[in-house]
Amino acid sequence: MRLIIVLVLIASGLIGGSIKLFMTGPDGEYHIAAADEPLFTSKYDDRLLELEKQAIDNGYRQKAEDLIRVWFLEEHGQPARFLTGVRAARKKYIDMQNALEKREKDLETLRGLGADKK
């Protein structure tokens, strides 16, 4: 359960951090319109994206295993409860993967704009 919460927080951060409203501040750095922190790329971005993808896969797998474990312990309302849980987990998994794809595209844009100053 904690892993799901962490994954949701990561995904919401990725979604919020991938807004395409780039602005150039007086310091010449790129900024998100709604944030004070400058945007930049780093040599670790590709590895971080890979780790985030793995975390999403692991979170989905753990959720599916938890749902099956509940089914083994309590058969009441199954398999409908299992299927409802899996549907919700699939939606979240897809949303998180889409957020990561958007982040990858945004990083490519930033690299093209020369935002790799750090």
How far is the C-alpha of 62 from the C-alpha of 1, rounded, in Å?
A: 9
State the pLDDT confidence band at 110, using cuts at 50, 70 and 90. confident
Mean pLDDT of 64-77: 95
Residues of the domain holding 18: 2-113
What's the pLDDT score for residue 80? 95
Please name the helix (run of DSSP H) or strand (run of DSSP E) that holds residue 32, with its range, or none.
strand 30-32
**Residue at 7: amino acid letter:** L
Mean pLDDT of 77-90: 96
Is 21 within the bounds of a domain? yes
Q: What is the pLDDT of residues 4-63, one digit of tens each?
A: 665 555 665 655 554 444 445 555 555 444 445 556 788 999 999 999 999 999 999 999
Query: Whose structure tokens read 């989905």?
Result: 60
- Residue 112, pLDDT > 70, answer yes
Closest CA to 85 of 103, 101, 67, 73: 67
Is 77 within the bounds of a domain? yes
pTM strictly above 0.95:
no
Query: Whose structure tokens read 């899996």?
Result: 86
What's the pLDDT score for residue 116? 56
Rounded to 10 degrees, the C-alpha dihedral 38/42/47/49 comes to 30
Is 67 within the bounds of a domain? yes
Is 47 within the bounds of a domain? yes
**Overall domain count for the chain:** 1
Q: Which two tokens stand for residue 19?
A: 């807004």
Is 118 within the bounds of a domain? no
